[in-house]
Amino acid sequence: MGANASNYPHSCSPRVGGNSQAQQTFIGTSSYSQQGYGCESKLYSLDHGHEKPQDKKKRTSGLATLKKKFIKRRKSNRSADHAKQMRELLSGWDVRDVNALVEEYEGTSALKELSLQASLARPEARTLQKDMADLYEYKYCTDVDLIFQETCFPVHRAILAARCPFFKTLLSSSPEYGAEIIMDISTAGIDMPMFSALLHYLYTGEFGMEDSRFQNVDILVQLSEEFGTPNSLDVDMRGLFDYMCYYDVVLSFSSDSELVEAFGGNQNCLDEELKAHKAIISARSPFFRNLLQRRIRTGEEITDRTLRTPTRIILDESIIPKKYAKVILHCMYTDVVDLSVLHCSPSVGSLSEVQALVAGKPNMTRAEEAMELYHIALFLEFNMLAQEKTTVSKPPSVRASK
């Protein structure tokens, strides 16, 4: 049976401006004719038909421009002669200085390799974003319920208020614990999965689902007009740490003898305690999560909710010194370890510092403080604090004096 050229799968259309009767272009090794496939093996060349002079000139000039670009890029990518530069640098050096430089390079290379191997050996530290995603998924310590399309979404008041102006206004009208708020969204096309993705975005800064509707600019503009445009997650969490809006837990520090007294009903002033949010500390630290869940099982949490008082957690200062508490909380909210917080306030003290002064021991160095903080992080199971690089910045008073 004969094969028509229009039905041949590898045939190409003739070029515009060429002869309509000209032979078409085929890529292959089998010969082809109007009557069918032949048996003779033959390699066909490309036939572009007749070309206008100006088309040929444009193609030639385009190739010349491309060639110039390649030559220019190749010249710019030529590496410098480092061996020559090193010889010129060391030409006037003493042999001992050159040997010291070589030892410095070898030591730096060994430290780099050691750091790389240590990073590969230890488990990956969970970031704030990942812990916030788990917080939304597993609903630790929720305190308000959003009802949307007959579906309940347990959420955290402090996080939504810090991230979204719409929820800040909405939640302020229902301050009681466990309030059920029926959502009325005016933006068209918002269904239950999309509403869940919006909440996921407020917790993590990412929608968490692939939906073509999130690529629609009109819908995003309508959502921003109704809900407001949040800042980045880092900025809003730093603001939540600074102002502690809707805090629901306080951390208190005592020695062993004071613990018995505290459980007897003797409480310190809130000014001497550190405020925090159950949602954040339970999401970042399994130690605090288990502690809060145990309080729920034993019924202690019900008493705090009935009295509408923040939960009070008493920590043994011999295990977790008070002076490190603000560094720990700062890292939980920001993923940044800032040791300057230890020395920014003269009122910050701890039992361990008093014991050191009585024993006549010198003040701890930054390295010793970092090591002690590392062991506390392991106790709290807070890997980000244990593995994150520390930021040793100057206190505000020192910066202001310069």
Q: What is the pLDDT of residues 10-32, one digit of tens each?
A: 444 444 444 444 444 444 444 44
pTM above 0.75, yes or no: no
Q: Where are the alpha helices (DSSP H) in 139-266?
A: 157-163, 165-172, 192-204, 217-227, 233-243, 256-263
187 within 8 A of 222, measured Cβ to Cβ: yes
pLDDT at 334: 95
Please tell me which residue, 50 or 383, carries the higher pLDDT value: 383
* Rounded Cα gap, residues 20 and 50, in angstroms: 10
Please tell me which residue, 67 or 164, carries the higher pLDDT value: 164
CATH number assigned to the domain comprising residue 226:
3.30.710.10
Instruction: Mark whether 175 and 291 lie in a shared domain.
Output: no
Instruction: Mark whether 372 and 280 lie in a shared domain.
Output: yes
pLDDT at 48: 47
Q: Which domain holds residue 210?
A: 128-231
* Rounded Cα gap, residues 291 and 333, in angstroms: 19
Residue 369 class from Cβ within 10 Å (0-12 exposed, 13-18 middle, 19+ buried)?
Answer: buried
Domains held by the chain: number: 2
Q: Which of 39-43, 136-140, 269-273, 306-310 has the highest mean pLDDT?
A: 136-140
Instruction: Mark whether 168 and 294 lie in a shared domain.
Output: no
Three-state SS letters, 212-232 = HHHHCHHHHHHHHHHHCCCCC
Evaluated on CA atoms 300, 302, 303, 308, the torsion sign reads: positive
pLDDT at 8: 42
Beta strands in 86-209 (DSSP E): 144-148, 151-155, 179-182
Instruction: Mark whether 220 and 281 lie in a shared domain.
Output: no
Lowest mean pLDDT among 2-6, 62-66, 149-153: 2-6
pLDDT at 62: 60
Q: What are the tokens at 124? A: 């990956």
pLDDT at 267 over 80: no
pLDDT at 310 over 50: yes
Q: What are the tokens at 10? A: 């590898």
pLDDT at 142 over 90: yes
Instruction: Mark whether 253 and 350 lie in a shared domain.
Output: yes
Instruction: Mark whether 155 and 182 lie in a shared domain.
Output: yes
Q: What is the dihedral of CA 128, 133, 139, 144, to 10 degrees?
A: 80
Please tell me which residue, 280 or 81, carries the higher pLDDT value: 280
Name the residue type at position 317. Answer: E
Instruction: Mark whether 253 and 382 lie in a shared domain.
Output: yes
Q: What are the tokens at 286? A: 């399994």
Q: What is the pLDDT of residues 249-263, one digit of tens each?
A: 999 988 764 453 444
105 within 8 A of 111, measured Cβ to Cβ: no
Instruction: Mark whether 212 and 319 lie in a shared domain.
Output: no
Helix H or strand E encompassing 252: strand 249-254
